[in-house]
A and B are shown apart, each in its own frame.
Chain A
Amino acid sequence: GENVEQHPSTLSVQEGDSAVIKCTYSDSASNYFPWYKQELGKGPQLIIDIRSNVGEKKDQRIAVTLNKTAKHFSLHITETQPEDSAVYFCAASKGGNYQLIWGAGTKLIIKP
């Protein structure tokens, strides 16, 4: 079945630096790739997503890139701030009514 691998499991960066989290997926039919941010004690929050018909999408300090040939996608956070500290999850699906297949999560720590 579909599998999504996420790396690293923990990422510690200096405030102001960039952070990159990578995911690979196994099902070439996957066409929707969201990223969620989960703060302690809260539900996952959708922060950005990308569909397979585009290679990159950006929203202020956050960007996602997709390489369909290699079947991997990445989350890029620039100019990191303390409030970026959280657990980030990637996911993949075939869209619509198909379920999301989740990565294991990355704990992002922003050092002051």
Chain B
Amino acid sequence: SAVISQKPSRDICQRGTSLTIQCQVDSQVTMMFWYRQQPGQSLTLIATANQGSEATYESGFVIDKFPISRPNLTFSTLTVSNMSPEDSSIYLCSVLSPGAYEQYFGPGTRLTVT
């Protein structure tokens, strides 16, 4: 399985500001995913990030609010822009194991917007 790290692990931000979350994988992967998990809830897919192409966003999520970069096969960033308290959540990145079905998750970034 892949080892995935995220930075920061947690942050408290003021409304109207932006936060960029980093996701680093210890091996090359084609597909990376960004999820949001609100307190006590299940996971909601924000977007799929493939290296070399634009991210694909799920219904309800837009690029202006959640811009994603995928500069290489081991790294991705998610920016939460113009934050409001409703953006308070856990943000998780995951990777698809190459040639397989398994998805592995990072430890998450706990964001609180005040």
A44 and B105 contact, CB distance less than 8 A: yes
B102 and A34 contact, CB distance less than 8 A: yes
Q: Could you tell me which residues of chain A, from 3 to 50, have a CB within 8 Å of some CB in chain B?
A: 32, 34, 36, 41-46, 49
Known contacts being A96-B101, A97-B96, is A102 close to B43, with CB within 8 Å?
Answer: yes
Q: Which residues of A contact B105 (CB under 8 A)?
A: 36, 43-46
Interface SS of chain A: helix, strand, loop or mixed?
A: loop
How many B residues are at the interface, by size bracket? 20 to 34
Assembly CA distance A96 to B31 (angstroms):
10
Q: Which residues of B contact A72 (CB under 8 A)?
A: none
Q: Which residues of A contact B67 (CB under 8 A)?
A: none
Assembly CA distance A41 to B6 (angstroms):
13
Q: Which residues of A contact B4 (CB under 8 A)?
A: 43
Q: How many residues of A contact B (CB 8 A)?
A: 22
Q: Chain A's nearest CB lies how many Å from the CB of B35? A: 9
Residue of B nearest to A33 (CB): B101
Q: Which residues of A contact B48 (CB under 8 A)?
A: 99
Q: Chain A's nearest CB lies how many Å from the CB of B107? A: 5
Per a CB cutoff under 8 Å, which of B41, B43, B58, B102 touches A46? Answer: B102
Assembly CA distance A93 to B58 (angstroms):
16
A42 and B1 contact, CB distance less than 8 A: no
Q: Which residues of A contact B92 (CB under 8 A)?
A: 43-44
> Hey, which bits of chain B sit against chain A, CB under 8 A?
1, 4, 31, 33, 41-43, 45, 48, 58, 92, 96, 101-108, 110
> Hey, which bits of chain A sit against chain B, CB under 8 A?
32, 34, 36, 41-46, 49, 51, 89, 93, 95-97, 99-100, 102-105
